[in-house]
Amino acid sequence: MVANRREFIKAGIVTSISASLPLLSSCAVNTTASSAVKPAPMMPVPAFVATNGINMAVYEKGSGPAVVFCHGWPELAFSWRSQIDAVAAAGFHAIAPDQRGFGLTGGPTDPNEYDMQIFCDDLAGMLDAKGIDKAVFCGHDWGGAVVWAMARLHPDRCSGVIGLNTPAGRPGDLPPVANPVPSLIKMTPNYYVATFMTPGNAESVLEADVRHTFDFILSRGGIWNKEAFAQMPETSDERQMNLLAMIQRDDPPGDPFLPDEVMEYFTQTYEATGFTGGLNWYRAAPKIGAIMANAASRINVPSLYIGAEHDVILPPSSANGMEDFIPDLEKYTVMDSGHWTQQEKPDEVNRVIVEWLQRKIS
């Protein structure tokens, strides 16, 4: 799950974390992924593409204008299994990579080899390898942060952007959004992003029982129901979004909603790879501001933001003000959905994405 960075910065946590991160010189590559991870079920057979120093595993289907699906944490290309089929059937070339540090792709162990410029360069290199000039980039969670950044760091490679749950970061040359909706999360040093920063800390909890971890994280209700969330005590692990503390409970909040076959693939993959690669995305987060300060300040391609009613980390209100720097923007809210929107409400998400693609891209 990507951080609500605006609230994170306001709490003063990013500054202190940035100062305390270790400076590592190792560039060792995680080779476990390619040797131990199985290709995802319910997906096309993946191919490997050399890009930006990694071998990126890419699932693809269909032909026509390219649509690249970028997953979040702790997800995989597998998270887009329903969208690949629907978008390919609608006449598009659907592409879903396991991104740097994840799944079949794996990646460096050094957190310095992870940052927003690198993530976007990975995707640009993947397009180059496939001979694709431009693509629509569709991302969820951390993948959403990447696709909005693609439109500013590599605008010549983007024909459109779809952000699922994740809003576009506001350019620094604009004033803050007037009257922002306060977050329901009580920001403290227990916020999950802060607890993810120290190497080994989150790994020890997440990897102790990987299936238990996914049963909690990929769930409905609990922390993914905004009404229930708002009624919880402000000192609770829930309201502080202290994921590591909740995972360690025998019965954490929320109800798993995905089929066992899906949960088993996530579990087996992360048992093979561990969580360090994905956690390095968080450990690189303090570098985002400096990278995006030099990026284009406007997004001038057709754009779609899809929010989810019950996402308390990235609520639909977090997209307020995007119109100020994205002239061609549409918004849609999926009702009765938590954070895992494309897996929780696949038919509705597919319908909205395909209808938009057919109007704006075809």
Residue from 98, 115, 121, 141 carrying the catalytic annotation: 141
Cis peptide leading into 346, omega within 30 of 0? no
- Burial class of residue 286, CB neighbours in 10 A (0-12, 13-18, 19+): buried
- Is 141 catalytic? The answer is yes
The residue among 144, 167, 161, 153 whose CA lies nearest residue 70 is 144
Q: Beta strands 93-97 and 66-70: pairing type? A: parallel
Residue from 282, 305, 310, 311 carrying the catalytic annotation: 282
- Dihedral sign computed on CA atoms, order 324, 325, 330, 332: negative
Q: Quickly tell me which residue has 């409400």 as its tokens.
A: 345
- Is 212 catalytic? The answer is no
- Is 154 catalytic? The answer is no
Gap between the Cα atoms of 148 and 139, Å rounded = 8
The neighbour count for residue 177, using CB atoms within 10 Å, is 16
Question: Which tokens is 252 given?
Answer: 């954490």
Active site residues: 141, 282, 339
